[in-house]
Amino acid sequence: MRRARTVALGIGGVVVIGGAGLATAGLGGGDDKAEARSRVPPATAEVERTTLVETQKVDGTLGYGGDRVATGGGGRGTLTWIAAPGAVVTRGRSAYMVDNRPVPLLYGRLPLYRTLAEGTEGTDVRQFERNLAALGYTGFTVDTTYGPATADAVRRWQEDLGVTETGKVAPGSALVVPGEIRVAQRKAQAGDRLGGAVLTYTGTTRTVSVDLDVQYQRLARKGAEVSIELPEGGATKGTITGVGKVATEGHGDDPTTVKITIAVRRQRTLGSYDKAPVDVLLVADRHADVLAVPVAALLARPGGGYAVQVVDGGAVRDVPVETGAFADGKVEVTGAGLAAGAKVGVPA
């Protein structure tokens, strides 16, 4: 399992928090010459009053969600066609055919577990009639009773499908799924006798799933916005839509995790990625109304701590500072006389 990495980052990039990270950024001290510090720096930046957002980077997977299995549903016959992996199938269309007869897709939560015919009553009747109406067939009332008018509409539907017009709907004659599907994998092939798994499928909208270390669970709030970094660069926004209530215990060095699901509204920003690793940035903390400077403006002091070079016209003075949050390539600072709009030295 890939591990969560503690970082401070923002739109502008990534900064490793700590003395070592600052030294790597060219902020080393100890032997700085007083003469060099007395000169005006080659470039300056303004001290800003802003909000810094600290984030926690965790590993996620971009894909269409978990696979579900479609079976023949009690029907009999020989499979003569199965939709290819990647195909999108909507209500009324077929994901496979049996004896050259289409098996249309219907939407709902109840499987077609019994034959629906005149006189049948129940919530499965209402579910079926809603589908029939959505497909454009009329002349009946959507309710829990399968009456003669429903049977007539079914015969018209069966005629359009090119199957025997019985006015009844038997198990195996339709595939009931929650909504439109994307075929993930064929589990059988043309020529196989019906019985068992025919294919696996997913939803048609890509999401990001994260097995989140429970120590970061407080950062995952339903409805919270996150940033998603894509494999080959670029980023997009997402919204947490689900946070698991049951933790999965890790084995060995793997942490105990909870599953979180992230919706991505702008699907086009995801390109053609499927089952791709991504980085997810969860908001760890917000520091509002703080003074901030570029991280590169920090100077390591010989006795420890940091300072910034405040530039006022041709005069330069070192101002010791306390550092706070790091984010977006900037660092929160407090120091005597520092104010928004002041100029501080930065490398060219």
Residue 175: name the closest of 72, 88, 68 by CA.
Answer: 72
DSSP summary character for residue 40? P
241 vs 225: CA distance, rounded Å: 10
Residues paired with residue 134 on neighbouring β-strands, in sequence order: none
What pLDDT does residue 38 have?
52
What's the topology of domain 68-202? Answer: Muramoyl-pentapeptide Carboxypeptidase; domain 1 (1.10.101)
Do residues 79 and 186 lie in contact, with contact meaning Cβ atoms separated by under 8 Å? no
HSE on the CB side for 90, CA within 13 Å? 2
* Pairing mode, strands 101-107 and 175-177: parallel
Residue 209: name the closest of 244, 181, 184, 177 by CA.
Answer: 244
What pLDDT does residue 13 have?
36
Tokens 């009747």 appear where?
125
Pick the CATH number of 5-54+286-346 from 3.40.630.30, 2.40.420.20, 3.90.550.10, 2.30.42.10: 2.40.420.20
Q: pTM here? A: 0.67
Do residues 56 and 216 lie in contact, with contact meaning Cβ atoms separated by under 8 Å? yes
171 vs 75: CA distance, rounded Å: 6
Sheet containing 197-202, strands listed edge to edge, beginning at the edge strand earlier in sequence: 68-71, 197-202, 181-186, 88-89
139 vs 118: CA distance, rounded Å: 15
What pLDDT does residue 328 have?
84
| Residue 128 burial by Cβ neighbours in a 10 Å radius (0-12, 13-18, 19+) | buried
- The domain spans of the chain are 5-54+286-346, 58-65+205-284, 68-202
DSSP summary character for residue 26? I
The Cα-based distances of 237 to 5, 6, 225, 275, 282 in angstroms read 20, 20, 7, 18, 11
347 vs 296: CA distance, rounded Å: 7
Do residues 236 and 208 lie in contact, with contact meaning Cβ atoms separated by under 8 Å? no
- CATH code of the domain made up of 58-65+205-284: 2.40.30.170
Show pLDDT as tens, one digit a residue, over the chain (348 residues).
444 444 443 433 333 333 333 433 444 444 444 334 457 888 999 999 999 998 899 999 999 988 999 998 777 899 999 999 999 999 999 999 999 999 999 999 999 999 999 999 999 999 999 999 999 999 999 999 999 999 999 999 999 999 999 999 999 999 999 999 999 999 999 999 998 999 999 999 999 999 999 999 999 999 999 999 998 888 999 999 999 999 999 888 889 999 999 999 999 889 888 889 999 999 988 899 999 999 999 999 998 999 999 999 889 999 999 999 998 899 999 999 899 999 999 987
Do residues 250 and 226 lie in contact, with contact meaning Cβ atoms separated by under 8 Å? no
223 vs 288: CA distance, rounded Å: 21
315 contacts: CB under 8 Å, gap ≥ 6: none
Retrieve residue 177's tokens. 């799924």
